């Protein structure tokens, strides 16, 4: 089965050099996905010298395999988050995600990034009565924390039981966003290298050295923005690796389907659907069928199930793109962002499943988190 993500097909191009020789910097960021480029953007506004190294092309990792939805709620449901934290923390998470979502919108405007960013409504529905409870729980919790989730009366191309909505969320072409932001920040004080792999990282008393095939980088600090940190770290024992899949389909006719749609179906299935429009084309995306890595007998069966769902619910003419991507679910549901260990010069940012909007906003000190397992309030350490 040929697989390619829709975002690779609608990507821009980048041509950052590869590193050839020894250099130094205040901070080296390993990984040019949304995490690395967002960190570089923030840091380069504050410090003299930032270097990003990306082993492939900027934005070409998991960031090019997502659905491209930005929302303040979380994928596994706010009630799931509430089962571990109090209302105050849930509100804090939502606030931070909202701030990050707005910051992305501001970047799009400020740097004129051509990435199809648009504000839209997020919808959550139950496909039938047996899933209504999940919707009711979200409404109840939204009421407790005064999040403006309301019952809806919209007509979808397929029947649903209950549906709720939250306005002012957003959608984006994630790869074009990362590429556009990288181009905007690439400068003397923020150097970006593609096709440059970190092969070894030395964490010394007062600095670090990152080795690449054709040169070394000496820096005060290193950030692992590699989705999961390189090498072995204890934090990896708190991350569950999952694969999730997506398909993008051409339709026989244009449909009105603005927004982010998540639907609960029987047997715990949840499907995420949206449309993407560019160059006068409209494509339907269906994302879902996650499983723990290594526990699916046939990965392709998951893609076929998404195709079946798409065909049963929409006027599909053809399935054009199919892909799968990996993400890491943090055991306590929040990302780990911070120092690798107490006195280390190395920082990590991982467990971002839920999801980019929390970048640099909802993460807590990774080292402290490992030792306290979610008991301490969040601090914004990075
Ligand atoms: C199917 C699916 C749907 C999703 N939908 C959404 C969504 O709708 N909204 C949302 O917010 N999130 C979504 N996500 C999650 C989101 O895609 C990830 O959280 C995000 O892309 C992680 O970004 P990252 O920059 O940390 O990792 P990546 O994008 O993977 O970037 C890490 C980079 O590090 C580079 N790298 C690795 N090792 C080295 C090395 N040794 N040297 C140099 N470079 C290296 C890689 O090449 C890569 O480019 C989805 C994920 C999947 C799989």
Question: CB within 6 Å of ligand 1 — which residues?
Answer: 30-36, 53-56, 60-63, 65-69, 197-198, 225-227, 230, 244, 246, 287, 325, 327, 352-353, 355-356
**Cα gap 329→76, rounded to integer Å:** 10
Closest approach atom of ligand 1 to CA 56? 47
| pLDDT surpasses 90 at 370 | no
Query: What's the confidence (pLDDT) of residue 362?
Result: 39
| pLDDT surpasses 70 at 374 | no
Contact 346, 222 (CB under 8 A): yes
Q: Residue 131 domain-assigned?
A: yes
Torsion sign (Cα): 290, 294, 297, 299: positive
Q: Residue 192 domain-assigned?
A: no
Give the mutation target among 36, 226, 231, 235 for probing the ligand 1 site: most ligand atoms within 8 A of CB: 226
**Cα gap 367→270, rounded to integer Å:** 33
Query: What's the confidence (pLDDT) of residue 23?
Result: 98
Query: What's the confidence (pLDDT) of residue 299?
Result: 87
pLDDT grade, residue 342 (50/70/90)?
confident
Give the mutation target among 63, 101, 360 for probing the ligand 1 site: most ligand atoms within 8 A of CB: 63
Contact 177, 105 (CB under 8 A): no
Q: Residue 355 domain-assigned?
A: no
| pLDDT surpasses 50 at 28 | yes
Cα of 226 vs centre of ligand 1, distance in Å, is 8
| pLDDT surpasses 60 at 66 | yes
Mean pLDDT estimate for the chain? 91
* pLDDT tens profile 178-209: 999 999 999 999 999 999 999 999 999 999 99
**Cα gap 54→29, rounded to integer Å:** 9
Q: Residue 149 domain-assigned?
A: yes
Q: What is the CATH number of the domain that holds 166?
A: 3.30.9.10
* pLDDT tens profile 102-151: 999 999 999 999 999 999 999 999 999 999 999 999 999 998 888 988 88
What mean pLDDT comes out for the span 33-55?
Answer: 97
User: What is residue 37's three-state secondary structure?
Assistant: helix
Q: Can you give the residue range of the structural domain that contains 162?
A: 119-170+240-330
pLDDT grade, residue 375 (50/70/90)?
very low
As a whole number of Å, the CA-based R_g of the chain is 21
Give the mutation target among 31, 229, 329, 335 for probing the ligand 1 site: most ligand atoms within 8 A of CB: 31
Cα of 323 vs centre of ligand 1, distance in Å, is 14
Q: Residue 136 domain-assigned?
A: yes
Cα of 15 vs centre of ligand 1, distance in Å, is 20
Query: What's the confidence (pLDDT) of residue 33?
Result: 98
Assigned token pair, 204? 């010394």
**Cα gap 291→295, rounded to integer Å:** 7
DSSP H/E element including 306 = helix 299-313
Q: Residue 366 domain-assigned?
A: no
* pLDDT tens profile 228-276: 999 988 899 999 999 999 999 999 999 999 999 999 999 999 999 999 9
- Indicate the number of domains in the chain: 1
Q: Residue 354 domain-assigned?
A: no
Q: Residue 249 domain-assigned?
A: yes
Query: What's the confidence (pLDDT) of residue 373?
Result: 44
* Percentage above 70 pLDDT, the chain: 92
């Amino acid at each position: 089965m040929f697989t390619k993500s829709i975002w690779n097909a609608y990507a821009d191009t980048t041509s950052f050099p590869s590193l050839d020789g020894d250099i130094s910097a205040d901070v080296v960021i390993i990984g040019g996905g949304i995490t690395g480029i967002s960190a570089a953007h923030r840091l380069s506004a504050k410090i003299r010298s930032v270097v990003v190294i990306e082993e492939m092309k900027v934005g070409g990792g998991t960031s090019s395999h997502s659905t491209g939805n930005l929302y303040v709620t979380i994928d596994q449901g706010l009630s799931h988050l509430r089962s571990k934290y109090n209302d105050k923390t849930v509100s804090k998470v939502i606030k931070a995600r909202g701030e990050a979502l707005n910051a992305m919108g501001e970047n799009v405007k400020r740097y004129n990034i051509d990435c199809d960013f648009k504000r839209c409504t997020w919808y959550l529905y139950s496909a039938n009565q047996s899933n209504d409870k999940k919707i009711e729980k979200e409404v109840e919790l939204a009421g407790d924390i005064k999040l403006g989730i309301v019952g809806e009366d919209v007509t979808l191309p397929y029947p649903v039981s209950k549906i709720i909505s939250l306005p002012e969320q957003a959608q984006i072409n994630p790869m074009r966003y990362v590429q556009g932001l990288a181009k905007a920040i690439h400068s003397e004080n923020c150097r970006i290298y593609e096709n440059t792999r970190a092969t070894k990282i030395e964490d010394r008393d007062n600095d670090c050295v990152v080795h690449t095939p054709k040169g070394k980088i000496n820096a005060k600090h290193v950030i692992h923005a590699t989705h999961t940190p390189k090498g072995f770290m204890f934090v990896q024992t708190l991350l569950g690796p999952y694969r999730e899949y997506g398909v993008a389909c051409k339709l026989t006719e244009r449909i009105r389907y603005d927004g982010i749609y998540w639907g609960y179906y029987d047997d715990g299935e949840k499907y995420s659907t949206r449309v993407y429009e560019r160059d006068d084309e409209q494509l339907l995306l269906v994302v879902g069928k996650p499983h723990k890595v290594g526990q699916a007998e046939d990965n392709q069966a998951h893609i076929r199930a998404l195709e079946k769902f798409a065909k049963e619910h929409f006027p599909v003419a053809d399935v054009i793109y199919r892909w799968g991507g990996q993400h890491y679910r943090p055991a306590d549901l929040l990302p780990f962002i911070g120092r690798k260990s107490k006195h280390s010069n190395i920082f990590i940012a991982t467990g971002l499943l839920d999801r980019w909007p929390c970048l640099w906003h909802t993460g807590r000190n990774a080292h402290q988190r490992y030792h306290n397992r979610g008991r301490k309030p969040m601090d914004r350490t990075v």
